[in-house]
Structure 1
């Protein structure tokens, strides 16, 4: 009885009525199973509010998806400090937004007693600041570094380098929607301590022993903190490109 009261408080009486009506259109057994599965999901999350009708179906579907990703024997109630802010944010995100996957992955860690140590509360605030393109870049970096090599010419007066020419660039350009923002994305993720961009090697370009330019090799990779974030939040198999 207490579970049904909690269910009613969270979803509202109309939703419970609809579940019963949908279930009874099949059988009493199906209706009972629907409510049982739903309660299994809701017990894992602390919700201090009633879900409004315009998004309650979507949120409960997310609950089921998260619960299904964790072995039942490992399931525990998510800390409210993680589940509350995430569920509030999910109200405003489209289902096909990459960031939705990040929030759901973090929730799945939060209800798994064997992986809850991966679910740092700060990760919510990091996801909150990311763009979908940045999420895609983090996934790419979880598989390999991005290599960016270029040459520059040395001016005749020897005071500065000019004419940058890219020689190698392994950025997954086809997966980035706003490629013109690439440098901004990297700088932003550097400020969040997720990635770093370092020069790995530089060699002088010479003609008849006179330096005429320079060849610079760089790479972008995850920081240790970035690796922890990726482990907790980024889907292991990446994102589906629609």
Structure 2
């Protein structure tokens, strides 16, 4: 019989790193973690104690290629440092698995990566983990960088535009006031496209109102037949929930 000391050295299994057995009540799921051990994953055995502790917070059932190991470790460290050690727990697999799958194809400087990091920080925090929707990772994956930027902007303040418009022709004339920069979101037309798509995703609400032009802008001359139209863009209730989980408060 061969003693344990004679066994070839192996790095820790993914199941050991993630603590999958503690939170996933499925033998098939547990086996998928253990079977994921590969030559690249064996290198994890050389990580520091703190790094291994960081890995245990994540429950992604996938193999990590060696090319991504350092980058992934840095991602984990950025997430871990946002949560006090006494508040840390294993991330729910329905959040962690899709985030880790998206990690490999999301650049570090993308606004989407910032959202993934914030979501994972919430997922490993005992105070917020149970308040997350399993749909949040897929919502982030479906956003463009400018949409992520727009959601972050709306999480701070709502946006509005004031402009005379023709209710018959439904044409907006020159803007009187805009409380944001269209160019930050790809221009006027692209901003409209972004808000329309986010509206379909139930993240953003557009509100039309007809304020009194004379009260708001005493010097403004509005041509006969035109009205002052205010378009207000704000996060929906679902959008506020999403932003509270995925947008870093800074």
Verify the 8 A CA contact 1:133 1:178 in the aligned structure 2: no
Query: SS at the partner of 1:221?
Result: strand
Among residues 51, 54, 57, which one is paired with 1:41 in the alignment? 54
Cα distance between partner residues in 2 of 1:118 and 1:98: 22
Cα distance between partner residues in 1 of 2:170 and 2:143: 34
Verify the 8 A CA contact 1:203 1:216 in the aligned structure 2: no
2:104 equivalent to 1:91: yes
Question: For the structure 1 residues 160 and 95, does the alpha-carbon distance in structure 2 shift closer, same or farther, using more than 3 Å as the test?
Answer: closer
Deviation at 1:125, TM superposition (A): 1.4
Among residues 225, 232, 247, which one is paired with 1:212 in the alignment? 225
Correspondences of 1:73-88 after superposition (within 5 Å): 73-88=86-101
2:222 equivalent to 1:181: no
Q: Which runs of 5+ in 1 are unaligned?
A: 20-33, 238-242
Cα distance between partner residues in 2 of 1:236 and 1:166: 31
Aligned to 1:147: 160
Correspondences of 1:211-230 after superposition (within 5 Å): 211-230=224-243
Aligned to 1:24: none
Aligned to 2:140: 127
2:36 equivalent to 1:12: no
Cα distance between partner residues in 2 of 1:43 and 1:90: 17
Verify the 8 A CA contact 2:204 2:236 in the aligned structure 1: yes
Q: CA RMSD in A?
A: 2.7
TM-score, length basis structure 1? 0.79
Cα distance between partner residues in 1 of 2:60 and 2:231: 47
2:147 equivalent to 1:118: no
> How many residues end up aligned between the 2 structures?
213
Q: Which moved more, 1:218-227 or 1:43-52?
A: 43-52
Deviation at 1:175, TM superposition (A): 3.1
Verify the 8 A CA contact 2:115 2:247 in the aligned structure 1: yes
Deviation at 1:177, TM superposition (A): 4.5
Deviation at 1:236, TM superposition (A): 1.2
Correspondences of 1:162-181 after superposition (within 5 Å): 162=171, 164-177=173-186, 180-181=189-190
Cα distance between partner residues in 2 of 1:187 and 1:162: 17
Cα distance between partner residues in 2 of 1:4 and 1:35: 12
Of Structure 1 and Structure 2, the greater strand share is in 1
Deviation at 1:170, TM superposition (A): 1.7
Among residues 226, 232, 237, which one is paired with 2:245 in the alignment? 232
